[in-house]
Amino acid sequence: MRSSEIRSGPGLGARFRESCRRLSRSHFRCRFRCLGRELSRGATRGQDRGRATSGDGGGGRVGDRGAVTAEAAVVIPVLVAFALALLWALMAAADQIRCVDAARAGARAAARSEPETAVLDAAREAAPQGARVEMGRAGDLWRVRVEAPTRGPGVLALTLSAEAAALAEDTVGGAAP
C-alpha cells in the first residue's frame, strides 16, 4: 500500500475525540463526586453545594476564603528564618576553617623557630576577627590553639576552636654522625 492510499476516514478523528471525551467525563465525574462529598460534609444540598454565595465570582469554597493569605503569612517568616539559619551555619563553617588554617600557620611558624610575636601575628592574620591565639611547647612539639567567637543571638553564639601541633625543627637531626 502506498502512502498516498493511507488515509484516515473523516470520522476517525471525531470518533477518537468523542471516546476520549466520554472517558474523561465519566472518570472526572466520579472523582469530583467523591471529592465533593468529602469537602462539603454538613453543607447544604443542591447545585451550589459548598460554593461561596457572596457573589464574589471566585467560585471557591466558603471555608477557603483567605487560605492562601494565611498560609503565606505563616510560610514566609519560616522561610526567612530558615534562610538566616543557613547563612549563619555557612558563616560559622567558614570561621571554623579559618581557625584551623590559623592554628596550622602558627604551628608551622613556631616549628621554624620564629620569634613568638611573628608566630602570633601569623596565626592572627589567618584567624577570624576577635580570635584568641595561644601557643606553647610540650617536649618536641609546638602547639598553637585558636579560639574565635561566632556572631549570633543567644544559643547561636558559639566559640569555635582549633589546635595544631608541629615538630620543632631544632630537634630534627640533632645528633651529628
What is the rounded average pLDDT for all residues in the chain? 77
Indicate yes or no: pTM above 0.85.
Answer: no
Q: Give domain status of residue 56, yes or no.
A: no
In terms of phi and psi (left: phi > 0; alpha: psi -120 to 50; beta: otherwise), the region of 163 is beta
Q: Give domain status of residue 18, yes or no.
A: no
Q: Is the pLDDT of residue 142 over 90?
A: yes
Angle between helices 67-111 and 116-126 (to 10 degrees): 160
148 compared with 29, residue with greater pLDDT: 148
Q: Give domain status of residue 143, yes or no.
A: yes
Q: Give domain status of residue 27, yes or no.
A: no
Count CB atoms within 10 A of the CB of residue 39: 14
Q: Give domain status of residue 102, yes or no.
A: yes
Q: Give domain status of residue 96, yes or no.
A: yes
CA dist list (Å): 161 to 67, 73, 149: 48, 39, 9
Provide the pLDDT confidence category of residue 177 given band limits of 50, 70 and 90. Answer: very low
Domain extent, residue 85, equals 70-171
- 57 grid coordinates: 465570582
Q: Give domain status of residue 94, yes or no.
A: yes
Q: Give domain status of residue 82, yes or no.
A: yes
Q: Is the pLDDT of residue 101 over 60?
A: yes
Count CB atoms within 10 A of the CB of residue 50: 17
Domains contained in the chain, number = 1
